[in-house]
């Protein structure tokens, strides 16, 4: 199966060279793309995979996959500015107003790059419309995340489907649309499940990561943390809810990370998060099985989702 990560990264660098005239912004863009290329480029690779899986051929799909990754990169930068997060990323070394400018440029470049692909015009029009709609959907989900008011599993799933899962759906569907000129409800459904599963896994990791990014320390409402708070029933564990509800300060609890890990295990939070993550993953597998795909494509999707 095609991976194409190297060609995808090369296409992104070529588009940056073509588009950024101001030296300072160009250097920031190049550095950001190089850092992005060290990651999995999962969304761009999903675009490539679905294009080939649905019968597409030719190399211009790398440009479309680069457009998808520019969109993801732009939203990552904006997300980090809003959350004051991921300090090691190069855009966080920039003044915030310049970082925001960079994100705007990447988001605009995403649309322009897709518009300049050599596919049937009606396919391109539909793909650009789909990308734009999913960015708007993700912005709604990000707003829910920033408001930090979710209180139920249903509200959390709604937020995740609108935010991170919507972007993975977009990446997959761009490939389908450029290959066929239409959307696939099956792909939309299973990509949503992959996105939800991945977000729950990330949220549990971030719950436990007190050294770099802890959703608990930031009092960020996620599914694992909501479950943990609802499961505390021993007096010696009340400090967890006291901190989350603002009755304790960060300095009061920073020394309790090991105790926190014990509480997470005792309450079954890790088991619950694993169950919810795998439930979405298994639903993805069920949908995939129902499609009757040839084995190489099916195995490539399973590998990409894990």
pLDDT tens track for 98-150:
999 999 999 999 999 999 999 999 999 999 999 999 999 999 999 999 999 99
Range 295-304 average pLDDT: 91
Helices (H), ranges, the chain: 5-19, 23-37, 42-53, 61-83, 96-115, 121-147, 153-162, 164-180, 185-208, 223-231, 238-244, 250-253, 257-266, 269-291, 295-305
Record the tokens describing residue 258, joined without a space: 């090991």
SS3 131: helix
- The Cα 110–Cα 36 span in angstroms is 15
Report pTM: 0.94
- C-alpha 178, offset from chain centre: 22
Q: Which of 240, 244, 237, 187 is nearest to 218 (CA)?
A: 244
pLDDT digits (tens, 9 = 90+) for 5-53: 899 999 999 999 999 999 999 999 999 999 999 988 999 999 999 999 9
Q: Between the CA of residue 64 and those of 38, 96, 132, 180, what are the distances in Å? A: 19, 28, 14, 14
pLDDT digits (tens, 9 = 90+) for 251-293: 999 999 999 999 999 999 999 999 999 999 999 999 999 998 8
- The Cα 106–Cα 5 span in angstroms is 19
What pLDDT does 1 receive? 45
Q: Which of 87, 7, 106, 100 is nearest to 48 (CA)?
A: 7
Q: Between the CA of residue 11 and those of 5, 34, 42, 92, 254, what are the distances in Å? A: 10, 12, 15, 24, 44
- pLDDT over threshold 70, residue 206: yes
Q: In this structure, are residues 14 and 91 in contact, taking their beta carbons and an 8 Å threshold?
A: no
- pLDDT over threshold 70, residue 3: no
Average per-residue pLDDT for the chain: 94
pLDDT tier for residue 2 given thresholds of 50, 70 and 90: low
Cα torsion for 52, 53, 55, 56, to the nearest 10°?
-20
Residue corresponding to tokens 């694992």: 224
- Which string of b and e fits 186-217 if b means at least 16 CB within 10 Å? ebeebbbbbbbbbbbbebbebbbebeebbbbb
Range 182-188 average pLDDT: 97
Contacts of 80 (CB under 8 A, 6+ apart): 86, 89, 91, 92
Question: Would the CA dihedral through 196, 106, 172, 122 be positive or negative?
Answer: positive
């Amino acid at each position: 199966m095609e991976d194409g990560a190297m060609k995808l990264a090369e296409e992104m660098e070529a588009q940056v060279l073509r588009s950024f005239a101001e030296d300072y912004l160009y250097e920031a863009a190049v550095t950001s793309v190089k850092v992005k290329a060290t990651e999995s480029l999962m969304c761009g690779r999903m675009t490539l995979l679905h294009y080939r899986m649905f019968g597409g051929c030719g190399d211009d799909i790398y440009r479309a996959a680069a457009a998808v990754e520019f969109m993801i990169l732009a939203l990552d930068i904006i997300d980090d500015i809003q959350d004051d997060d991921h300090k090691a990323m190069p855009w966080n070394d920039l003044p915030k107003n310049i970082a925001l400018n960079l994100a705007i440029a990447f988001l605009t470049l995403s649309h322009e790059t897709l518009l300049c692909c050599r596919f049937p015009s009606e396919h391109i029009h539909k793909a650009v419309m789909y990308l734009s709609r999913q960015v708007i959907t993700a912005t709604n989900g990000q707003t829910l995340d920033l408001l930090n008011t979710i209180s139920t599993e249903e509200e959390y799933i709604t937020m995740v489907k609108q935010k991170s899962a919507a972007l993975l759906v977009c990446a997959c569907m761009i490939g389908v649309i450029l290959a066929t000129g239409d959307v696939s409800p099956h792909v939309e459904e299973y990509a949503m499940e992959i996105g939800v599963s991945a977000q729950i896994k990330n949220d549990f990791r971030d719950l436990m990561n007190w050294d770099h990014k802890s959703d608990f320390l930031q009092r960020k409402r996620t599914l694992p943390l909501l479950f943990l708070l609802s499961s505390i029933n021993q007096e010696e564990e009340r400090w967890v809810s006291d901190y989350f509800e603002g009755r304790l300060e960060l300095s009061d609890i920073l020394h309790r990370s090991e105790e926190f890990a014990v509480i997470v295990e005792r309450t079954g939070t890790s088991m619950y998060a694993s169950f919810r993550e795998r439930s979405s993953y298994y639903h993805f597998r069920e949908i995939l099985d129902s499609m009757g795909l040839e084995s190489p494509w099916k195995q490539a999707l399973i590998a990409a989702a894990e």
